[in-house]
Amino acid sequence: MAFPKGESPSRDAAGARGVMARLRAATILAVFLIVTLAAMPVQWLFIKLKLPAARTFPGRYHHLVCAIFGIHIRVRGKPVTGQGVLMVANHTSWADILIFSAATPLCFVAKAEVARWPFFGTLARLQRTVFVERERRSATGEVRDVIRERLMAGETLLLFPEGTSHDGNRVLPFKSALLGAAEAVLAGGKHVAVQPVSAAFTGLYGLPMGRENRPLFAWYGDMEMMPHLWEAILAGPLEVVVQFHAPLSLDDMDRKTLALRAQQVIQTGVAEALQGRIAA
């Protein structure tokens, strides 16, 4: 069979794969929107009626969304449950919200501008996110009080002490300001548990992911959300390792020492996951 000048069977095959990848991505986004629009009024009702399901439903929703997006999560360790706990984690991408929420029921502490994002801000509010005004130092104390109340009510809150996302190949220095909320929460004479949690993007299409491919899913800098989301879905199924580490306590150290210790634990967890060395 003759092919026109400049064309070849391999080029035709690549073009067909590209079309199929875009069709797959469009289907995934359509299903995501349908599921999300159906779930939003359900969660809104749970919140308005103050039902216990308001805490657990977002995790079930995010578990389903991870399945839709092809995000496969391997969980190591166990989350602290049955009491208020402040979790701290590294921050790589918008996908962290799906991943951590799918791994265990929780709410997030996020920057205030997230609340103003179209659509995604509404999703954040429906998950009962605590928003932080980083530009106003006076607001830090107010947020600490809100976090304290939620922890005393037995909830799990997760914050990203790095303060920003990055390329997924490292962990940035942790800020300790919001960890002060844990200092004021005492139960039985002990401070609330602070549990480090690490997440690492380790695989793509079932193969180990290299440094050069991690930015396909890492969302940071001035990247636009929707174009990055589209490219991430095009890139293919993602494998993530989430590791719940042993909890730390302010009974044994001050908040700045705790922030440094948590950073070191998470750095080790990320490094072990990226190198394929995961502790049981």
Q: How many domains does the chain have?
A: 1
pTM over 0.75? The answer is: yes
Q: Would the CA dihedral through 44, 46, 47, 52 be positive or negative?
A: negative
Residue 111 within any structural domain of the chain = yes
The pLDDT score that the predictor gives to residue 7 is 53
Residue 167 within any structural domain of the chain = yes
Residue 5 within any structural domain of the chain = no
The pLDDT score that the predictor gives to residue 75 is 95
CA distances from 258 to 63, 251, 277 (A): 30, 10, 25
The pLDDT score that the predictor gives to residue 189 is 63
The pLDDT score that the predictor gives to residue 66 is 95
The whole-number mean pLDDT for each consecutive block of 10 residues of the chain, a chain of 280 residues, reads 54 70 90 96 97 95 95 94 92 91 94 88 94 68 80 91 76 81 65 91 83 76 78 85 93 87 94 75
Over the chain, what HEC string results? Answer: CCCCCCCCHHHHHHHHHHHHHHHHHHHHHHHHHHHHHHHHHHHHHHHHCCCCHHHHHHHHHHHHHHHHHCEEEEEECCCCCCCCEEEEECCCCCHHHHHHHHHCCCEEEEEHHHHHCCCHHHHHHHCCCEEECCCCCHHHHHHHHHHHHHHHCCCEEEECCCCCCCCCCCCCCCCCHHHHHHHCCEECCEECEEEEEEEEEEEECCEECCCCCHHHCCCCCCCCHHHHHHHHHHHCCEEEEEEECCCECCCCCCHHHHHHHHHHHHHHHHHHHHCCCCCC
Residue 77 within any structural domain of the chain = yes
In contact, 112 and 134? CB cutoff 8 Å: yes
Q: How far apart are CA 86 and CA 77, in angstroms?
A: 16
The pLDDT score that the predictor gives to residue 232 is 83
Residue 93 within any structural domain of the chain = yes
Q: How far apart are CA 124 and CA 115, in angstroms?
A: 7
Residue 280 within any structural domain of the chain = no
Burial of 54 (0-12, 13-18, 19+ CB in 10 A): buried
Residue 3 within any structural domain of the chain = no
The pLDDT score that the predictor gives to residue 144 is 76
The pLDDT score that the predictor gives to residue 68 is 95
Domain boundaries, position 111: 10-274
Residue 1 within any structural domain of the chain = no
